[in-house]
Amino acid sequence: MQELMIKITENEQKIFVGIDVHLKSWTVTILTENIVHKTFTQPPSAAVLADYLRRNFPDCEYYSAYEAGFSGFWAHYQLLELGINSIVINAADVPTSQKELFQKNDPIDSRKIARALRAGQLNAIHVLKIKTLEDRSLVRTRDMLVKDLVRLKCRVKSFLHFYGIDMPEQFKSPYTHWTKRFIKWLRKMYNYLHHTV
């Protein structure tokens, strides 16, 4: 009978996980509803965390939070897929004591997040659907590549000007720049400079 009661209690228990995310590792703090279980460092993997939780806290509800930052939302999507109720938060919204302001490190940060998550003090930021993020990334990448291309073309023209190479009349119009004929002429100029140096 006592074993049955323990099993029912475990089934209803909530586990709170605060994650301080970094490129090469995560610092994780795990709290139950009543105690601090552990603070530890692990590889940056949602699967490793999920495996640890299932091994040590079977049949429990898992809640996790981490601060939005450089790593984006891939961890959030993976945690959700693995059955962990994940939220992403604004770092400025995590309640911080005066002492914690002066003693800032990864374990303290993960404990703060876990504590605030357990106390219901965290508000999740809006996380876009992965398809929307992919579309935005595509548009931004294209925009970045176009700007890079414009800069490179300007450098080539500056290079020509630096060496006093005047463009032939047929290429004076901006509409004739970067045609096949213009690029062929550039190669000819490059070979000429290369052999004269």
Residue ranges and CATH numbers for the domains of the chain are 2-127 (3.30.420.10)
Most confident region among 50-64, 100-114, 153-167, 171-185 by mean pLDDT:
50-64
pLDDT at 5: 36
pLDDT for 16: 97
Distance CA 197, CA 192 (A): 9
Alpha-carbon distance values, 68 to 62, 77, 112, 179 (Å): 19, 13, 15, 45
Contact between residue 42 and residue 49 where contact means Cβ atoms under 8 Å apart: yes
Confidence of residue 114 (pLDDT cuts 50, 70, 90): very high
pLDDT at 2 over 60: no
Q: Distance (Å, rounded) from C-alpha 61 to C-alpha 113?
A: 17
Distances (CA, A) of 118 to 2, 51, 137: 28, 21, 34
Over pLDDT 70: what percentage of the chain?
90
Over residues 41-62, mean pLDDT: 96
> Quick check: pTM over 0.85?
no
pLDDT reading at 42 higher than 80: yes
- Residue matched to tokens 């119009």: 173
- Give the pLDDT of residue 196: 60
Measuring CA to CA, which residue among 152, 180, 185, 179 is closest to residue 166?
185
Q: What mean pLDDT is predicted for residues 70-91?
A: 93
Q: In this structure, what token pair is assigned to residue 159? A: 């290079």
